[in-house]
Structure formats: structure tokens, C-alpha cells
């Protein structure tokens, strides 16, 4: 590990001097690339230098002890050496995690698709609750949300809704939300007070840039139609809704939220690019599918990942066996405790795979 870290340190020093070099600054693409790499390496190098300093302290203290000192001074040196050993041990543990292969999508914006599943109107209402939960979590991180498409019900639920979260690292936090979310509660329409179980499916896609996905216009079939559902002025009186079919993959995307056909088309293309990118990534990683399934956050949309139990105010994430009795706070966007546990479990699984 130390040889690898020393090589990274040399690279970091090269980048450190290069990003202030006028010749590099003149080439903005190269400069941006160097800045990005410099920022990614910085936490690793800081921790490596902390490790080197602790190792140097241990070496110096060992040498002083070998020379023979008075008892009081020797105790002080031993105490300093013990502190340095603890620091070095902690730095090594953190560096193991920092050196794990990074998900190349982690820093990207994210597209989230929520669909009501088992439970009819009650599932649609819970889809709206999840949309609100994710919105409040994104706001707490100062990330921007843009609704891409929605199919609302008459009583305030969503049969489906798609939205984009824009912010550095959005995908790294939301990627663990893919799967089936189950809710247990008494529906508003239930007169007998019986608890019903409903389910909502969440899909999380890294937003794909145009340069990452090459879409041939000849592979697209674009249909326009009149938007339906609870509309408002103009939205369901003109042929502004857009449906795009990507013929090679069979992926179909519809958008009808905007009054403008052009805006709906742009939003539909954003979702389409991300779905094609996700499909290509899944195929590319097919050979390690078994390994991915053993890790947290495999993104399997058929997997039941979390249960929200209203009578007991309980949230349980089944992947890490985490139960919190703070349902209201979670639904108000307090997701960090759950996501942190999932990140830790994912890192542990990856470390086990590295050994």
C-alpha cells in the first residue's frame, strides 16, 4: 500500500504545480481535468502525509529509547510513541477505504423515478410522501430539484413521478434508494381502521451527459399527444405531451408536465439518455453481477429494501438490519443516518472483496 501511496503523492505534487502553470491554464480542458484529479487525490494525500508523520515519530522515539534516558523522559517518549501508533493505525484504516475503487458516477446528478405499485391509491399517496422526503433531503444538501414528468391522481398521489436532483455527489447518496419501499399504515379511505400494506418502486439513475450516450436520431420514434390527468390551464388542451421510443432498446419515455412540446421533449431526452446509460452499465458489469448482488446498493428494483411502519413510527432498512423509531423525521428528509449505515456496509463489503 505504501508504494502505491508514494506514487500517488508524486502525482499529486505534479498536479499541484501544473494547475498554476500558465501553459496548462491556457488549455482549459487539460486544466479542468488536472483540477478534478487534484481534488480527488487531496484527501488521500492528506491522510498519507499524516501516516508518514506518525511513522517518523515512532521511528525517532524508538531511536531515543535505545540511547537510554532518565525514567521520566522515557515515559514521556513512550506515551508519544503510543499516540503515534494509534494515529498510524487509524490513518491506515481510513486509507484502505479511500483507496477503494470509486464509482465513476458518484459525483453526478441523479434522476429518480418513483412509481406506485401494490396498493392502488394508497401506493400513489405514499409515492407522493417519498417524493416529499427526497425533496426535503435534497434541500438540506442545497441541491436543486427539477420535476421531469409526473402522473398525478385526483387526491394528491402519484402513479409515477420522475425528477432530477442536481448537486455534487447527489448520486453517491441517492444510489442506495433503488428498490421496493413498503408502507404499513391505515389508509385515509379505510373506515374500519385496518392496517394496509402497499409498495412503491424507486429507480435511481445517474444523469448521463450527451457525450456519454450516442443516440442516433434515426433510432427514435417521437409521438406527440394531449396531456391527461389533473392539468391546469393549457397543459391538457394542446398536443404538448411527448413520447419517445428508442427502437433498439425498446425504452419508452413520456413527458407531459410542461406546456411547451419542446421542453417536454428535452426532459424526455434527459431521462432516455440516463436509462440507456444505466442499461449499458448493467450489461458492461454483467460478468461481476454475482459480486454486486452481495453488496449493499446493488440497485435491484425488485428487492424490498425498506419498510415504513406508521403505527409503530418505525423505519427498517432490511439490507443492513437497521431499525429507527423516528418515522416522522425520516419522512421529513432526515435520511443521513440510514444512508451513512448503507455507505459503511457497502465499504465493508468492498474491503472484504479486496482481501
pLDDT tens for residues 262-282?
Answer: 888 888 888 888 888 888 777
Q: How far apart are CA 14 and CA 8, in angstroms?
A: 10
Contact 306, 323 (CB under 8 A): no
**Residue 284: what pLDDT?**
59
**Residue 287: what pLDDT?**
47
**pLDDT at residue 52 is higher than 90:** yes
Among candidates 6, 97, 86, which has minimal Cα distance to 54? 86
Position 299 confidence tier, pLDDT thresholds 50, 70, 90: very low
**Residue 266: what pLDDT?**
85
Q: How far apart are CA 282 and CA 200, in angstroms?
A: 22
**pLDDT at residue 88 is higher than 80:** yes
Q: What is the pLDDT of residues 121-149, one digit of tens each?
A: 889 999 999 999 999 999 999 999 989 88
**Residue 289: what pLDDT?**
46
Q: What is the pLDDT of residues 216-273, one digit of tens each?
A: 888 888 888 877 655 444 445 567 888 889 988 888 888 887 788 888 888 888 888 8
CB proximity list for 277: less than 8 A, separation 6 or greater? 205, 206, 208, 212, 213
CB proximity list for 222: less than 8 A, separation 6 or greater? 242, 243, 244, 245, 265
> Dihedral, CA atoms, 271, 274, 278, 284, nearest 10 degrees?
140
Of residues 117 and 22, more confidence is placed in 22
**Residue 45: what pLDDT?**
93
**pLDDT at residue 294 is higher than 80:** no
Position 329 confidence tier, pLDDT thresholds 50, 70, 90: very high
**Residue 236: what pLDDT?**
53
Of residues 207 and 83, more confidence is placed in 83
The domains of the chain, with CATH numbers, are 2-98 (no CATH), 110-207+289-354 (3.30.70.1660), 217-283 (3.30.160.20)
Instruction: Give me the mean pLDDT over the 62-88 stretch.
Output: 88
Q: Distance between the two ends of the chain, CA-based, in angstroms?
A: 13
Q: How far apart are CA 280 and CA 274, in angstroms?
A: 10
**Residue 212: what pLDDT?**
65
Q: What is the mean pLDDT of the chain?
A: 85
% of residues, the chain, pLDDT over 90: 40
Q: Would you give the DSSP letter of residue 191?
A: S
Q: pTM score > 0.85 for this model?
A: no
Least confident of 64-78, 103-117, 163-177, 274-288: 274-288
Among candidates 255, 282, 250, 252, which has minimal Cα distance to 266? 255
Instruction: Give me the mean pLDDT over the 2-21 stretch.
Output: 91
**pLDDT at residue 81 is higher than 60:** yes
Q: Would you give the DSSP letter of residue 127?
A: H
Of 45-54, 240-249, 287-296, which one has max mean pLDDT?
A: 45-54
Among candidates 146, 150, 175, which has minimal Cα distance to 335? 175
**Residue 230: what pLDDT?**
53
Position 293 confidence tier, pLDDT thresholds 50, 70, 90: very low
**Residue 31: what pLDDT?**
92
Instruction: Give me the mean pLDDT over the 78-99 stretch.
Output: 90
**pLDDT at residue 112 is higher than 60:** yes
**pLDDT at residue 41 is higher than 50:** yes
C-alpha cell at 174: 441517492
Q: Are strands 158-166 and 251-255 parallel, antiparallel or unpaired?
A: unpaired
**DSSP letters for 239-258:** S-EEEEEETTTTEEEEE-SS
Amino acid at each position: 500500500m505504501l508504494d502505491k501511496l508514494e506514487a500517488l503523492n508524486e502525482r499529486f505534487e505534479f498536479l499541484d504545480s501544473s494547475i498554476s502553470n500558465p501553459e496548462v491554464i491556457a488549455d482549459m480542458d487539460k486544466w479542468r481535468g488536472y483540477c478534478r484529479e487534484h481534488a480527488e487525490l487531496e484527501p488521500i494525500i492528506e491522510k498519507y502525509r499524516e501516516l508518514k508523520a506518525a511513522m517518523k515519530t515512532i521511528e525517532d522515539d524508538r531511536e531515543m529509547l535505545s540511547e537510554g534516558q532518565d525514567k521520566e523522559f522515557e515515559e514521556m517518549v513512550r506515551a508519544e510513541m503510543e499516540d503515534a501508533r494509534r494515529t498510524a493505525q487509524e490513518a491506515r484504516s481510513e486509507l484502505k477505504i479511500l483507496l477503494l475503487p470509486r464509482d465513476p458516477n458518484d459525483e453526478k446528478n441523479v434522476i429518480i423515478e418513483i412509481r406506485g405499485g401494490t396498493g392502488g391509491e394508497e401506493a400513489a399517496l405514499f409515492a407522493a410522501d417519498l417524493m416529499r422526503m427526497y425533496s426535503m433531503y435534497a434541500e438540506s444538501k442545497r441541491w436543486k430539484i427539477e420535476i421531469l414528468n409526473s402522473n398525478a391522481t385526483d387526491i394528491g398521489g402519484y402513479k409515477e413521478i420522475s425528477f432530477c436532483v442536481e448537486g455534487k455527489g447527489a448520486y453517491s447518496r441517492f444510489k442506495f434508494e433503488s428498490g421496493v419501499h413498503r408502507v404499513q399504515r391505515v389508509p385515509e379511505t379505510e373506515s374500519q381502521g385496518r392496517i394496509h400494506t402497499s409498495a412503491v418502486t424507486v429507480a435511481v439513475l445517474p444523469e448521463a451527459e450527451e457525450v456519454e450516450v450516442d443516440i442516433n436520431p434515426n433510432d427514435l420514434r417521437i409521438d406527440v399527444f394531449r396531456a391527461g390527468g389533473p392539468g391546469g390551464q393549457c397543459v391538457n388542451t394542446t398536443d404538448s405531451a411527448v413520447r419517445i421510443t428508442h427502437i433498439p432498446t425498446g425504452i419508452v419515455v413520456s413527458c407531459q408536465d410542461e406546456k411547451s412540446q419542446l421542453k417536454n421533449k428535452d426532459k424526455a431526452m434527459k431521462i432516455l439518455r440516463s436509462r440507456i446509460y444505466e442499461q449499458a452499465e448493467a450489461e458492461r458489469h454483467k460478468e461481476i453481477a454475482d459480486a454486486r448482488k452481495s453488496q449493499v446498493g446493488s440497485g435491484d428494483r425488485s428487492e424490498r429494501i425498506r419498510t415504513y411502519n406508521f403505527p409503530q413510527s418505525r423505519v427498517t432498512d432490511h439490507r443492513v438490519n437497521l431499525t429507527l423509531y423516528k418515522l416522522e423525521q425520516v419522512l421529513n428528509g432526515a435520511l443521513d443516518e440510514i444512508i451513512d449505515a448503507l455507505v459503511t456496509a457497502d465499504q465493508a463489503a468492498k474491503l472484504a472483496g479486496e482481501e
